[in-house]
Structure formats: C-alpha cells, structure tokens
Chain A
Amino acid sequence: MTSRRSWFLAGFAVVALLIAGVVSYLASSSPDGLDSTTLRGCTVIETAAGEELTGTCIAQHAGEHHLADGPLADYTVAGNDNLSGIAGILGATATFAVAGGLFWLIARSGRTRRT
C-alpha cells in the first residue's frame, strides 16, 4: 500500500467518523419516505406509555423490534439520545470491522484461487 493511498484512506475514515459522530446531530427527526408512507392515515399521539397511533395505517401492523432493548437501540447509548453521535461512531466502526474483515477474507480467497 503506497503511503499516499494510506493517507487518502485515513482521511476517508475521518470523514465517515465526523459524519457519524457530529453531522448526525443535524439530521431531520421527521419520518423518512418509507415511514411517512406507512404512517399515512394515522396520527401519532404522545402518551405516558410512549407513542400511540390513532386512525388506520400500515404502520399499525409493525411489530416492536426484537432487539428494541439493546444498548444501542435507536442510535442511543442505553436510551440516552444525546449520545447518538457516540452510537454513530460505534456503528461506523463496527461496520468497518465486519465489512473490512469479510472483504479481506474474500480478497485472500480470490488470490489463492488465482495463483
């Protein structure tokens, strides 16, 4: 690996971490295109127990996530969504670890096959 390439990759990694850790705080909290589609026909109302949907819409059929109690669920850290940047950095790092590891293995298997 040339050092110029290494510098580029390091820069790319820093950009990804800044987006996950800092820029993510600027994200719109409105539902995305899919959620706003499945929520059509419903009104979201706040109750003491959380949110409820009144009316008729597709989203009423959605089940609670099986891992909704996980430590990083909903991009929080143990439920604290002020720490979503930390959750983002952990997520980007985990994604890099899984993807980089898998791609390294695939690259190696490709090389042994070629030689």
Chain B
Amino acid sequence: MAGYAPLVNSPNDAVLAMHMSDGLVDAPTSLLFGFVAVAGITVAAWKARTELDERTAPMAGLVAAFIFAVQMVNFPILPGASGHLLGGALAAILVGPYTGALCVAIVLVVQALLFADGGITALGTNITNMALIGVGVGYAAAVALRPLRRRFGDAGLAALAFVAALANTLAAASGFLLEYALGGAGDTTLDTVAWYMLGTHTLIGVGEGLITALTVVAVARARPDLVYLLRTAPRPTTEVPA
C-alpha cells in the first residue's frame, strides 16, 4: 500500500479528502511550515483576547462548527473536479481575524485527527495556507472594501464578502504553490501546478464567495452586533459627507 495515497478506503468512491496529505512536500518544508503555523496560531491565540468576550465566544465556536459543516459539501466546478469552502474570509468577517484563524485551525486539526483528512505532518502547511494566509488576506480585503457597505448597504456587504472570500481562496492556493516550490515532491513543474491550482481555485473562489456573501448578509440582517467587521467599523461621523 505504500507509495501512493489511497484516496478512498472503502470500495465505493465517496471521496471526502480535502486537504494536503503527508508527503506532498519534503520533510524540511513540512517542518518549516510547522513552525510557521505554531508561531502564527500562538500570536492569534494571544491577540484573540481583544476580540473575544463571554458574549462573542459562543458565536465564534459556532462559526468553527459551521465551517466544518460547510467544508463537507463539495460543489462541482468542472467535470471531474470539485471544490469546497475554506472559510477564512467568512470567519474573519464574522468573528475577527485572530479568532477566525483559530476557528479554521481548529477545523483542520479536528479533520486531521478524527477524520484522517489532511496529513498529520501536513498540518503545518494546511494551517499556514488556510488559517494564516487565507484568513489574513481575506480579512485585509474585507477591511479595504468596508466602505462599500456604508455606501451600498447589504449589496455592498455581499460584494465585499464575495471579493474577500475569492482573495482568501486564491491566497491559500498560492500558499500551496510556495510550499511546492520550496520542497514539492514529484516532477511536475511549478508552472503547470500553478496554472492548474490557480485556475481551479478561481472557480472554487466564486463558490466560496457566494457562500460567504450569503452567510455574512444573513447574519448581518439578523444580528449585526454579531458581525465583527461591522462592530469594529469606524464611526460614520468621522467622515462627514458634504
């Protein structure tokens, strides 16, 4: 059995493996990104104290569970290829970037330890890509586009959530490309891998964007106080329209 990844353990073909397996990058690269992940998550846990209180902690726990659930639902993007939510932008918008990074990291740890999805030695790369890079880029995009919400209301919020989620997906895919460039296994050229990764993840990013926009607008309509990005928005009075 050694030497290739049995994508499916059972005879029928319900493939539900979603993250990097062990062995796709070499040991030094895995180790390096293991350190990156530990450092990043430590910082996130420290900084999350400024985002969390007894009122928002249950919401943040539910956001993690929601991301786990939605990640199970692969949607088709091309014949023979699918995609699923990564959830970085969604988590950052709803509960803040540091808490959001912890949400995605916890989902990845639960998936690797309980569901054999995503390798154990690949946890560092998976956490770096989806919890650190994806959340960071997704949140930065959301903050940059936050004025859209003030101008266009829910439509603006949907648009900023969509773009932030697309950016999060492409950034996370680029993280894999960085790791593959540093220590990828196999002879496939980086060029080929890059085109295919970014192509598929542009399509996945559209799905990610739709799910993120739908969820963020739904939460914002019901409980705007539970949307971190709106809670922390600068007071409208700081910009006085003429």
Contact = CB atoms under 8 A, between A and B. Distances in A.
Interface in B92-137: 99, 102-103, 106-107, 109-117, 119-120
Given A12-B219, A40-B196, 17 more contacts: A1-B55, A4-B223, A19-B72, A29-B13, A30-B80, A31-B80, A31-B82, A32-B74, A36-B200, A62-B5, A63-B21, A68-B116, A75-B16, A76-B9, A79-B9, A99-B65, A107-B56
A93 B56 CA distance: 18
6 contacts: A19-B72, A30-B15, A33-B197, A35-B17, A88-B69, A99-B102
Interface of B: 1-24, 45, 48-50, 52-70, 72-78, 80-84, 99, 102-103, 106-107, 109-117, 119-120, 173, 176, 180, 184-188, 192-193, 196-197, 200-201, 203-204, 219, 222-223, 226
A110 B9 contact: no
Chain A interface main SS type: helix
A96 B119 contact: no
Contacts of B59: 9, 12
A111 B52 CA distance: 9
Give the contact-size bracket for chain A. Answer: 35 or more
Contacts of A93: 65
Contacts of A98: 64, 106, 109-110
B107 A95 contact: yes
Interface in A24-73: 24, 26-38, 40-41, 44, 46, 49-53, 56-68, 70, 72-73
A68 B65 contact: no
Given A57-B186, A64-B6, A95 B65 contact: yes
B4 A52 contact: yes
A51 B7 contact: yes
Contacts of B114: 70, 72, 90-91, 94
A68 B115 CA distance: 8
A56 B16 CA distance: 22
Nearest to B13: A29
Given A58-B184, A106-B45, A34 B197 contact: yes
B6 A51 contact: yes
A76 to B, nearest CB: 7
Contacts of B53: 107, 110-111
